Amino acid sequence: QQQVKQSPQSLIVQKGGISIINCAYENTAFDYFPWYQQFPGKGPALLIAIRPDVSEKKEGRFTISFNKSAKQFSLHIMDSQPGDSATYFCAGWDEGQAGTALIFGKGTTLSVSS
């Protein structure tokens, strides 16, 4: 059972456009929802994150929208730039038997064309 479902798998956006990536989660025990950004040949790095008691969080051009009742959250990238071209992962922190672990979606490859 996939705990975090992410879509689309790939996305092409023109420079200046809005990129939207969606995620849905199954496990109601998730209590913190980060987005990670990964450039080719690098490890993922935290981009932005949200707690479930907040409906929206904005940091610069990046915004997370969170819908707790629907168990969905999304990443919006405003004024998308070629430098935003990367793979984006949504995730949730889950309580396991030995502590907490970060569970990822399958990722979205974003290409911003100039």
Token pair for residue 18? 């809005």
The three-class DSSP label of residue 96 is strand
First vs last C-alpha separation in the chain? 38
Nearest distance from C-beta of residue 14 to another protein, angstroms: 25
User: CB-side exposure of 113: number of CA atoms within 13 Å?
Assistant: 4
Interface with another protein includes 93 (CB under 8 A)?
Answer: yes
Q: Compute how many residues bind another protein; rule: CB under 8 A.
A: 26
In the region spanning residues 14 to 33, those forming contacts with another protein, defined by CB under 8 A, are 32
Q: Which stretch binds another protein (CB under 8 A): 21-29, 59-67, 77-85, 97-105?
A: 97-105
In the region spanning residues 54 to 73, those forming contacts with another protein, defined by CB under 8 A, are none
For the chain, the residue count is 114
In the region spanning residues 34 to 53, those forming contacts with another protein, defined by CB under 8 A, are 34, 41-46, 49, 51
